[in-house]
Structure 1
Amino acid sequence: MIKLVVLDMAGTTIDEHGDVYKALEGSVTATGATVKPEDLQTWMGADKTEAIAALLELGGVTPNPELVARQFDLFREMLAKFYAQNPPVALPGVEAALRTLKSRGIKVGLTTGFSRDVAGPILEALGWGIGDGQLLDAVVTSDEVAAGRPAPYMIHRVMEATGVHDVRTVVAGGDTVVDLLAGHNAGVLPLGVLTGALGRGDLEAHPHSWVLDGVANLPDVI
């Protein structure tokens, strides 16, 4: 019996119009580094400071803590500007699906490669509350754990926050490869969804229990 569903934010439950891609790429290329599309996709679901450091190195610029911190600040500035111009919205059918899961007694948590100061305003704008009687039972951001995806820590932190002890009763995933790998590393049932940039073959090449068209389909399979 499934007791907890843990989902990614951007591209999985929230349509942010691809602005994370643009902000991440822009924050790296501003240093003179080059960014290959496949590298950008590889690091999309990861902690954004880790992603910036990796992409800088891949792009020919040696990262150091000061540079990474500066480019992360630029990433946040760019993302805030994009979101002000074109606010994120819930992906079709997601809210209804989450409420269906909650009505069955299944807890719902979100994890994200965003820091809390980025994720918080997005959730507030959507009206997605956290806690008793709210849509979400827990939200864990990448700056609250020792390492972001594909490490399992955010998923386990949501389990801790919701009082769920058995990984066999947890579904976790999102729209990127690192979402699937994080679920696999956490020992839970990994879920892939096709509402991001990757196709079915891209996701099914990695450990998964399901690859669905979207979160809207999740109540039908668990």
Structure 2
Amino acid sequence: MRTRDSAADREGLLTMPRSRGAMSGVLLILLGAWGAIIPFVGPLFGFAFTPDTAWQWTAARGWLEVLPGAAAILGGLILIGSGSRASASLGAWLAAAAGAWFVIGRTLAGPWGIGDVGVPTGTSSGMRALEELAFFSLLGVVIVFLAAAAQGRVSVRGRRAAGKPAPAAERDPRASAAGAGPVPETGSETGPETGPERKGAHEYRPAQGDQGAG
């Protein structure tokens, strides 16, 4: 019995409902797709970094935008399809790393020789700030936040998975009637003994041989 309970506890620690990471997974996929595609389609709408040419591949775009975008998409897919806490946690960590790379990637691009994505092409300071946020900074922060939220959700365990005993009513249905008072013994329809038949009542009866003595 102990072996069965231990196996069930281990299974409860590893498994989880698939819906736990579904919403975060969908949002991570959308944000990752945005980060990976926007450098190629943004120039069509005047929303881009230099070189502002649509569908132009560069090493910097590949390393600093396509790669983290694809990693965020993969992390989101793992979260959506996983019924295991271990794999879901891996997906969340992968997405968090992708978001962090969106934020810090350009700082490391020069020392690592990855390349340069250029500068925002907006005609005003407000538009340039918006491009900076939408392409890198804010995008990465939101991805990290969603990944952290997903990590928190998949790490939550229920009562049974955490090894806590089930309520008494679930273990034994008869326990739910324990608070209703004593239960009459089997075979007794009248409940507790009453009248002359109750315990000790014969001690007060006069003996049959003494009834005529008076």
TM-score (structure 2 length as normaliser): 0.25
Question: Highest CA radius of gyration, 1 or 2?
Answer: 2
Q: Which has the higher strand share?
A: 1
> Greater share of helix residues, 1 or 2?
2
